[in-house]
Structure formats: structure tokens, C-alpha cells
A = this chain, B = another copy of it.
Amino acid sequence: MSFDRLIERIIELKNPTVVGLDPKLEYVPQYIQRRYMDKDGGTLRAAAKAIFDFNQAIIDEIHDIVPAIKPQCAYYEMYGSYGIKALQKTIRYAKLNGMFVITDGKRNDIGATMEAYTNAHLGTVNVCGNEIEPFASDALTVNGYLGTDGIEPLLNICREKDKGIYVLVKTSNKSSGEIQDMKLEDGTPIYALMGDMCEKWGADTIGKYGYSAVGAVVGATYPEMLTELRKRLPHTMFLVPGYGAQGGGAEGLKGAFDENGLGAIVNSSRAVMCAYKKEGCDERDFAKSARREAIRMRDDITQYINLK
């Protein structure tokens, strides 16, 4: 099952973190931007090329210490078809370097349309007898508001092709409670209902570490819910955004992990990508600075958990 591959890499590197590659153009050092802007001018194509170079350099520096990357689709869609090309190349490059790739698309739809998203991001598309992998990612974040019809097409590929999904359960933002914390007639909050669905959806995909191919997104900004949901959803691996920039501290993350230090992977995006700005080092040192921040984050988080 998919998350076994990720979990094995987490154990190997002793590092339950993922670096979010959400490359706003302003994060990309000037010298890389100029490499393309001087030639092409301020075009979507030039921006997309600069972004890929930025990602590539970060992957070069972190792939031996960080198990996974999480590219956020929005920052590639911003640059139209050129941006999507940069996303495809980023995924390919990370995989060539042994990294697990979680595409953060929060996709959702039903039936044949969800199947199209599934085939696009995790599977293959048939064109005149050729089976082509458009994105070839390992996992995809999804939104479960449409119920089982929106998840079923993904489960087939999780079983067949060793892939995984993370369903939004309790997001890290301030207003997440407006819908997610509302209580049902029996007192269950909606996030817990969504979490219970994850356990149900994943039930027949449980791997050797006890986790299924259906994970949940649970924000670092709500430590008490991490603890509560860890107990409630014993087979659901958590993808935890909100560490660092959004204010979630490392100690508060403890509850997301099981007694073996497994069961969760913590994301950091901006703090790693922009480490060179915070450090104030030469911008040409940005990728090494990203590595330093990735190590700091790993050590910050693993001090509180029992990862052997």
C-alpha cells in the first residue's frame, strides 16, 4: 500500500516531514529570475522556468534527508500551461531523486470526472492505445464534501497502483471551524464525521505499519484535535500543515504521532523555501539554506516523538 513506501522512507531518514514546494515568484532569487526574464521578458513561460530551476535546486539539496515533497497546484496553475509543465517536471525530478510526491490539489468531483482527476494525477491516460502518466504523483490531497462518489475512483488506483490520498478533515486555518467544527445532532463534529469516513474508505487498504492508503489533512494549529483524531482514527495517516509559518509549534505535534513516532508527516513550505531570506545569506546560497532549515525542522519535531 502506498503509505508503506512513504513510511519506510520516513523511518530510513528518521524524518517525518515533507517540504511544500509552493514557489511564489517572489520567493525565487533574483539571479534565477533574471536567467529567464532577461531573455523572455516577464512572461508566464519565463516565470515557470525560473520556478522549476528553484525547485530543482531545493530537491538537489534535500532529497537525501527529507522523504517527500508536496507541490501545491495553485502556484503552478498561476502560470497557465507553462506552470503545469513546471509541475510535471518537478514531480518527475523529485521521483528520480527517490522522493515521495504528494500533489496538493484538494481535488474533488464525482464519477467520471473524479476518475479523470485520478488518472491525471495518480494514474494513466489512454490516448489511442498509449498509456501515458500525465503527472505520475504518489499521492493527492482531496476534499470529501461530495461523499463516497468522489472518493471511490481514487480508491481503485490506491489498490491497483500503490498510491495514496489525504482527505481534508480539519484544516489549519482560522475559519476552518465555521463548517468543520459544527456539531451534528449526536454531538459529533463534522471534522470527526469526515475522519470516520476516512477510516471507512481506507478499511481494505491497510498496510504493514497499520495505516491505510486514505490519510487525513489535520492542521498543526489545532494540537488538541491532532491528539483526539489520532485516537479516533487509528488507521489514518495524517498530513499536517501549519507548522512554522502558520504558527503551529513542534511540541503541539506530538499528539499526531503514534507510540512508534509514525502516523503523521508534517509539512513546511515557506520557511524552507525562504530560509535564505530569514538567514540573510547570499541568495545564491538559497538551496543550502533550505537544507539547513529542513534539518532544523526535522530535529525540532523528532525531539518530541519516538521514531526509531
Binding site for B on A (CB under 8 A): 22, 24-25, 33, 37, 41-44, 46-47, 72, 74-75, 77-85, 88, 106-114, 116-117, 119-121, 125, 127-130, 132, 134-135, 143-150, 168, 171-180, 182-185, 187, 190, 193-194, 197
Contact = CB atoms under 8 A, between A and B. Distances in A.
**7 shortest A-B CB distances, which residue pairs?**
A42-B128, A147-B175, A147-B178, A74-B116, A42-B130, A81-B85, A80-B134
Contacts of A74: 107, 109, 113-114, 116-117, 120
Contacts of A147: 173, 175-180
B88 A134 contact: no
Given A145-B145, A149-B175, A173-B146, A78 B125 contact: yes
A168 B185 contact: no
Nearest to A187: B185
A78 B120 contact: yes
Given A37-B128, A179-B190, A184-B183, A121 B77 contact: yes
13 contacts: A43-B127, A72-B113, A78-B120, A80-B134, A144-B145, A144-B179, A147-B177, A149-B175, A149-B176, A178-B197, A182-B184, A182-B190, A190-B190
Contacts of A132: 42-44
